[in-house]
Chain A
Amino acid sequence: MTTEAATIGLTHGGSEDTGLGHRGPESKSIVVPYGFWLFILSDMVLFSALFATYAALVNATDGGPTTNQLFDRTLVAIETMALLFSSFTCGLAMIAAKRANMAWTQIWLLVTGLLGAVFLFIELYEFAHMIAEGAPPQRSAFLSSFFTLVGCHGAHVTAGLLWIGTMMAQIWAKGFKEHIVRRLLCLSIFWHALDIIWVAIFTIVYLIGTLP
């Protein structure tokens, strides 16, 4: 009976309890990141609404600049590389943190933060450039939805940078205590999720927006 249920994935890995049985609830190191995972998924739902808005309004340019006139693929390629490699180094930081290696954890977190800062700097440069060119958010419904979608992602990256700095300080001050490592795991989930959302943005907004 138990093995049968396990093969269709209804129990916790073949044991008889359902998560709150004789073993009691899962440990905090499972429950907290799982709850954070649910938050990340709800964040994805939020972004899906912004994507849907953008898709509905992308042609509503009100005679103003269009996607083809505004976007620069070279800049987007650099942004994409910066964020992808920062996601990679964030993973390396997690490997080092798991082994309580202070130096490498700090180094990889620093690299992650610097690559994130490069991304953010290029994005702000692009925004400033667009506004100076007469394409501010209030110019058309297309530009409103563009700045909302991409700006919301940029705001997430900004929050992620602050979080990285906070975690570097906490690891430095308190060491690899269980609750600190738990926070670090949540940070890595957050940072990887930002890269996943960026994949959708560079495809839907920038690449499809600049097709001939």
Chain B
Amino acid sequence: MTQDENDLLDVAPGQPHSNILSETAAYVIGLALALILTGVSFWVASTSVLWGPGVAVGLVVLAIAQMGVHLVFFLHITSGPDNTNNVLALAFGVLIVFLVMVGTIWIMAHMTANMAPPPELTNLQMQH
């Protein structure tokens, strides 16, 4: 097997690159981006400068961005041909996660809105 062919083989998720400098750089860049995004999240949540109702959506967007940073810089998920299998599995996972979360929140919100005038009934009480 030639070196060229070797380079084209699949890589596993989380597998580091071959050069120690570029490997370390990837983790440092990832850490810096994650720190910035975390810092912005905590700032957005505590400031009163921003429009209140938009803050929650902004926080979710920041969280998704940070998850992307972790995937790219820590788990080394790339768009390269050697990563096709990893990316496809990830895409399927994201699809299911999206369906479960959005589907549940959507349906439960509609149920709450349509079902019950007295709030005590929607307040799913524990029997104790």
Contact = CB atoms under 8 A, between A and B. Distances in A.
Interface string A10-23: 00111100010000
B96 interface: yes
Nearest to B5: A15
Contacts of B31: 84-85, 88
Contacts, number: 172
A203 B101 CA distance: 15
Interface in B1-33: 5, 8-16, 20, 23-24, 27, 30-31
Nearest to A7: B81
Interface residues of B, number: 60
- The secondary structure that dominates the B interface is helix
Contacts of A57: 124
Interface bracket on A? 35 or more
B89 A37 contact: yes
Interface of A: 6, 9, 12-15, 19, 26, 29-30, 32-34, 37-38, 41-42, 44-45, 48-49, 51-53, 55-57, 59-63, 73, 77, 80-81, 84-85, 87-88, 91-92, 94-95, 98-99, 138-141, 144, 185, 188-189, 192-193, 195-196, 199-200, 202-204, 207-208, 210-212
